[in-house]
């Protein structure tokens, strides 16, 4: 058996763009022949896929799934290069398969997910195969998995506009309550998250440095320059408080009931069901944008 050196693996990786382990396996199979190993990678679609991996992938889908008992939920963003491929049956099937695997295996992050098993292969192999078949770069960009504790439930909402945005939300319940009604409430609040795009669960949990930064910005505004210090402080406090309310889920006015905040809405619905309801955390995915995933703190 030919010894495969690190430099040989490096040369093949640079030539093909394939993953290190794939290069090493190909070199072993080719008995150290670089060109033969490269051809093996091309035959497997790995080299072709890797060359495409440098291309921009900004289209795609945000998809999710909830377990039958409503206790677990998953959401994932999978990117491709064009909207045409995002509507391709093979791409859609890949997103469904990925979502099912995420819900089943509960990976900590994308890297862990790519290394998990998918039948007789790994998830990363499924992606590589899809790239070779479809002909575009495909990236599993981000994911989130929630598991509710106690009598809690997980809600999911994917916007009807082509799967471009979605939210996963965990709702806690202090007592056992009608699961169908709890599921409807959780979904409604998840829909609110997609619509209002909060950054935090509650105003009380916003980091002090975020609040202080907003105070500095407000204090520096020209319209306050001539105000007396005590008046300027009062105005700034009011403005910052308003900003924090607008960024906090519990304090935002509920999109389906503008007369009540989300927190108040949950309080009222909980009273109807004989329990106490609270939003625990949410993950908001908007295609191509930075994730907003929080349990009251930015992560």
Pair (157, 287) in one structural domain: yes
Residue 6: both structure tokens together: 């690190």
Pair (70, 119) in one structural domain: yes
- Say if residue 149 is exposed, middle or buried (CB neighbours under 10 Å; 0-12, 13-18, 19+): exposed
CA distance 141 to 289: 10
Is the pLDDT reported for residue 207 higher than 70?
Answer: yes
Which residues are CB-contacts of 51 (< 8 A; sequence separation ≥ 6)?
16, 17
Pair (38, 89) in one structural domain: no
Pair (225, 86) in one structural domain: no
Pair (159, 107) in one structural domain: no
Residue 136 belongs to a domain: yes
Per-residue pLDDT band for 299 (boundaries 50, 70, 90) equals very low
Residue 87 belongs to a domain: yes
- pLDDT tens-digit profile of 72-84? 999 999 999 888 9
pLDDT of the residue at 193: 98
Q: How far is CA 256 from the centre of its chain?
A: 24
Q: What is the CATH number of the domain that holds 74?
A: 3.30.479.20
Residue 199 belongs to a domain: yes
Contact indicator for 254, 196 with CB cutoff of 8 Å: no
Pair (191, 235) in one structural domain: no
Q: What is the CATH number of the domain that holds 17?
A: 1.10.8.10
Other CB atoms closer than 10 Å to residue 269's CB: what's the count? 19
Pair (69, 173) in one structural domain: no
Domain encompassing residue 236: 207-246
Give the helix/strand (H/E) hosting 35: helix 34-43
Is the pLDDT reported for residue 291 higher than 50?
Answer: no
Indicate whether this model's pTM tops 0.85: no
Pair (294, 263) in one structural domain: yes
Is the pLDDT reported for residue 45 higher than 50?
Answer: yes
Among 124, 147, 170, identify where a domain stops: 147
- Residue the block writes with tokens 């106690």: 150
Pair (82, 181) in one structural domain: no
Residue 73 belongs to a domain: yes
Is the pLDDT reported for residue 297 higher than 60?
Answer: no
Residue 161 belongs to a domain: yes
pLDDT of the residue at 56: 57
Per-residue pLDDT band for 179 (boundaries 50, 70, 90) equals very high
Pair (27, 172) in one structural domain: no
Other CB atoms closer than 10 Å to residue 202's CB: what's the count? 17
Residue 1 belongs to a domain: no
Is the pLDDT reported for residue 298 higher than 50?
Answer: no
Higher pLDDT, 104 or 213: 104
Tell me how many domains the chain contains: 4
Q: How many helices (H) and strands (E) does the chain have?
A: 12, 11
Residue 139 belongs to a domain: yes
Pair (63, 30) in one structural domain: no
Angle between helices 89-105 and 123-134 (to 10 degrees): 170
Pair (202, 215) in one structural domain: no
Which residues are CB-contacts of 48 (< 8 A; sequence separation ≥ 6)?
42, 131, 132
What is the number of alpha carbons within 13 Å of residue 269 lying toward its C-beta?
26
If you average pLDDT over every residue of the chain, what do you get? 89
The sign one gets for the Cα dihedral 187, 299, 105, 286 is positive
- pLDDT tens-digit profile of 60-69? 999 999 999 9
Is the pLDDT reported for residue 266 higher than 70?
Answer: yes
pLDDT of the residue at 185: 98
pLDDT of the residue at 224: 84
């Amino acid at each position: 058996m030919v010894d495969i050196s690190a430099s040989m693996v490096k040369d093949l990786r640079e030539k093909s763009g394939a993953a290190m382990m794939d290069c090493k396996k190909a070199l072993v199979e080719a008995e150290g022949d670089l060109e033969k190993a490269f051809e093996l990678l091309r035959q497997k679609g790995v080299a072709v896929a890797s060359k495409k991996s440098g291309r921009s992938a900004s289209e795609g889908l945000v998809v999710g799934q909830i377990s039958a008992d409503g206790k677990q939920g998953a959401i994932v963003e999978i990117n491709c290069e064009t909207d045409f491929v995002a509507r391709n049956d093979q791409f859609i099937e890949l997103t469904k398969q990925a979502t099912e695997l995420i819900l089943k295996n509960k990976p900590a992050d994308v890297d862990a997910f790519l290394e998990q098993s998918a039948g007789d292969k790994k998830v990363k192999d499924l992606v590589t195969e899809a790239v070779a078949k479809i002909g575009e770069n495909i990236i599993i960009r981000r994911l989130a998995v929630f598991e509710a504790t106690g009598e809690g439930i997980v809600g999911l909402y994917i916007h009807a506009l082509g799967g471009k945005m979605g939210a996963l939300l965990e709702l806690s319940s202090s007592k056992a309550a009608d699961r169908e009604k709890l599921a409807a409430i959780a979904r409604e609040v998840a829909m609110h998250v997609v619509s209002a795009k909060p950054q935090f669960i509650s105003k009380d949990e916003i980091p002090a440095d975020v609040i202080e930064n907003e105070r500095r910005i407000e204090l520096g505004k020209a319209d306050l320059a001539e105000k007396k210090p005590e008046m300027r402080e009062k105005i700034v406090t009011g403005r910052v408080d308003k900003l924090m309310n607008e960024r906090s889920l519990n304090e935002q006015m509920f999109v389906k009931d503008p007369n009540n905040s989300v927190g108040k809405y949950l309080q009222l619905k909980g009273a109807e069901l004989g329990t106490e309801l609270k939003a625990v955390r949410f993950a908001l995915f908007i295609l191509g944008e930075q994730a907003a995933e929080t349990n009251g703190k930015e992560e």
